[in-house]
Structure 1
Amino acid sequence: MASVANYIKESFGELKNNVSWTPWPEAQKLTIIVVVFTILFSLAIWGVDTVFSKLIGEYFNLING
């Protein structure tokens, strides 16, 4: 159990001292870009799914009667 605690302690030390982090303003800007593109892609996928669902529904209505 001590080795797990030591591993976690060393991991935090490495993250704090050896990792170069993106400056906060740039990280905020990039986060906003990711959120905007995520929303746009989810709306695009929703739209394509809606169109295909209606097309498939119409196709089955056509062949059933």
Structure 2
Amino acid sequence: MAGIVNYVKESFGELKNNVSWPTWAEAQSLTVLVAVFSIIFSLAIWGIDTVFSKVIALYFQLIG
């Protein structure tokens, strides 16, 4: 149990002293960037999935 407590203390010390945190403005702009790219990629995957499902449906219509 002492090892876990020591690990948590060292982790907090590492985060407090050695990590360079972004400013609030940087964090907001990076969040918006991630959200935009997530939406773009999800739309691209949705489009590809729609095309593949139509191709597969057409294939099964032709052989069925």
- Using structure 1 for the length normalisation, give the TM-score: 0.90
Give the match for residue 19 of structure 1.
Answer: 19
2: CA distance between counterparts of 1:63 and 1:3? 64
The reply to whether residue 8 of structure 1 matches residue 5 of structure 2 is: no
Give the superposed CA RMSD: 0.8
Give the CA deviation at 1:7: 1.1
Q: Distance in 1 between matches of 2:34 and 2:26?
A: 12
Q: Give the number of aligned pairs.
A: 64
User: Unaligned stretches of 5+ in structure 1?
Assistant: none
Following TM superposition, where does structure 1 have runs of at least 4 consecutive aligned residues deviating by more than 2 angstroms?
none
Task: Give the structure 2 partner of residue 54 of structure 1.
Answer: 54
With normalisation by structure 2, the TM-score equals 0.92
Q: CA deviation at 1:32?
A: 0.6
By how many angstroms is 1:46 displaced?
0.5
